[in-house]
Structure 1
Amino acid sequence: MVKKLNRRMWLRGAAGFTLAIPFLPSLFGKDEAFAAGGPKRFVALATQHGGVWQPRMYPNDTTLTQSTSYAGHDIRRGALALEAANGVASLSPVLAGDSSKLTSALVQKMNVLRGLDVTFYLAHHRGGHLGNYADNDGNGADGQAIWEKKKQTLDQILAWSSKFYPDLGSIRERSIVVGSGGMSHGWSNPGNQTGTIQSVAPENDSLALFNKIFVPPQDPTQTRPPIVDRVLADYKRLRDGTRRLSSKDKQRLDDHMDRVNELDRKLNVSASCGDIQAPASSSIDEWGSSFSVDPEAQKRFWQLMNDVIVAAFACDTCRIVTMNIGDHFSNYVGDWHQDVAHQANVNAERHELNFAGHRRFFEDVYLDLVSKLDALQDASGGSVLDHSLVQWTQESGCVTHDPIEMAVVTAGSADGFFSTGNYCDYRNLQKPASKADGNNLVDSHVGLVYNQWLGTVLQSMGLAPSDYESDGYGGYGLVQLSTEGWYGGYNKYTNAELGVMSEILPFLKA
Structure 2
Amino acid sequence: MRTNPRRRQFLRGAAGFTLAIPFLESLQSERHARAEPLGPPKRFVAMTTAHGAIWGSNMYPGDGMLTDQMNYKGRTIKSGALVPQLNGSTASLSPVLTADASKLTAAIAAKLNVVRGLDIPFFIGHHGGGHLGNFAASDEDLPFGKIPTIDQIMAWSPSFYSDLATILMRSMNVGTGVFSYLGEYQISWGWSNPQTQSGSVDGLALEHSSMSLFEKIFVPPDETGEPERPLIVDRVLEDYNRMRSGNKRLSTSDRQRLDDHLARLDELERKLNVQVSCGDITPPTKDSSDVYDSNGYFLDAQKHGEYWSLFNDVIVAAFACDTSRIATMEALEQFSAFAGDWHNDVAHQGHLADGDAQETLWTAQQLFFEGVFLDLVNKLDAVQEADGSTLLDNTLVQWTQESGPLALYSLSHPVITAGAAGNFFRTGSYVDYRNMNTPFESDLPTNEVVHTGILYQQWLSNVLQAMGVPTSEFDAGGGGYGVMHVDPYWADLYPSAVMQGLNEGLPFLKA
| TM-score, normalized by the shorter chain, greater than 0.5 | yes
1:400-458 Cα deviation digits (max 9, x unpaired): 11111111000000001111111110000000013466x77731000101110000101
Q: Which residue of 2 aligns with 1:31?
A: none
Work out whether 1:168 is the aligned partner of 2:164.
Answer: yes
Work out whether 1:373 is the aligned partner of 2:380.
Answer: yes
Q: Which amino acid aligns with 1:52?
A: I
Work out whether 1:393 is the aligned partner of 2:400.
Answer: yes
1:191-241 Cα deviation digits (max 9, x unpaired): 111111111111011111111101212327222222212211111111122
CA–CA distance in 2 between the matches of 1:273 and 1:302? 24
Shift in Å, 1:384: 0.3
Q: Which residue of 2 aligns with 1:154?
A: 150
| Stretch deviating more after TM superposition (376-385 or 442-451) | 376-385
Q: Which runs of 4+ in 1 moved over 4 A?
A: 1-4
Mapping of residues 110-509 of structure 1, within 5 Å: 110-138=112-140, 144-146=141-143, 148-181=144-177, 182-219=186-223, 221-222=225-226, 223-288=228-293, 290-346=296-352, 347-435=354-442, 442-470=448-476, 472-483=477-488, 485=489, 489=490, 491-509=492-510
Shift in Å, 1:490: 5.1
Q: 1:183/1:356 Cα in 2 relative to 1: closer, same or farther (>3 Å)?
A: same
Q: Which amino acid aligns with 1:233?
A: E
Q: State the SS of the aligned residue for 1:274.
A: coil
CA–CA distance in 2 between the matches of 1:322 and 1:245? 37
Shift in Å, 1:11: 4.8
Q: Is the contact between residue 474 and residue 500 of structure 1 (CA under 8 Å) also seen in structure 2? A: yes
Q: Which amino acid aligns with 1:380?
A: D
Q: Which residue of 2 aligns with 1:26?
A: none
Shift in Å, 1:2: 5.2
CA–CA distance in 1 between the matches of 2:38 and 2:402? 32
Q: State the SS of the aligned residue for 1:145.
A: coil
Q: Is the contact between residue 20 and residue 279 of structure 2 (CA under 8 Å) also seen in structure 1? A: no
Shift in Å, 1:256: 0.2
Q: 1:19/1:52 Cα in 2 relative to 1: closer, same or farther (>3 Å)?
A: farther
The TM-score normalised by the length of structure 2 is: 0.91
Q: Which residue of 2 aligns with 1:106?
A: 108
In angstroms, what is the RMSD of aligned CA positions?
2.0
Q: 1:322/1:267 Cα in 2 relative to 1: closer, same or farther (>3 Å)?
A: same
Q: 1:242/1:72 Cα in 2 relative to 1: closer, same or farther (>3 Å)?
A: same
Q: Is the contact between residue 473 and residue 498 of structure 1 (CA under 8 Å) also seen in structure 2? A: no
CA–CA distance in 1 between the matches of 2:103 and 2:232? 46
Q: Which amino acid aligns with 1:344?
A: G
Q: State the SS of the aligned residue for 1:322.
A: strand
Q: Is the contact between residue 50 and residue 331 of structure 2 (CA under 8 Å) also seen in structure 1? A: yes
Q: State the SS of the aligned residue for 1:491.
A: helix
* 5+ residue gaps, structure 1: 24-34, 139-143
Q: 1:469/1:5 Cα in 2 relative to 1: closer, same or farther (>3 Å)?
A: same
Q: Which amino acid aligns with 1:93?
A: P
1:359-404 Cα deviation digits (max 9, x unpaired): 1000000000000000011233310000000000111111111111
The TM-score normalised by the length of structure 1 is: 0.92
1:159-195 Cα deviation digits (max 9, x unpaired): 0001000000000000000113231000000011111
* 5+ residue gaps, structure 2: 24-36, 178-185
CA–CA distance in 1 between the matches of 2:446 and 2:212? 45
Q: Which amino acid aligns with 2:300?
A: D
Q: State the SS of the aligned residue for 2:493.
A: coil
Q: Which residue of 2 aligns with 1:69?
A: 71
Shift in Å, 1:145: 2.4
| Stretch deviating more after TM superposition (491-500 or 319-328) | 491-500
Shift in Å, 1:79: 1.0
CA–CA distance in 1 between the matches of 2:502 and 2:259? 35
Q: Which amino acid aligns with 1:17?
A: F
Give the fraction of aligned pairs with identical amino acids, expressed as a percent. 50
CA–CA distance in 1 between the matches of 2:412 and 2:324? 32
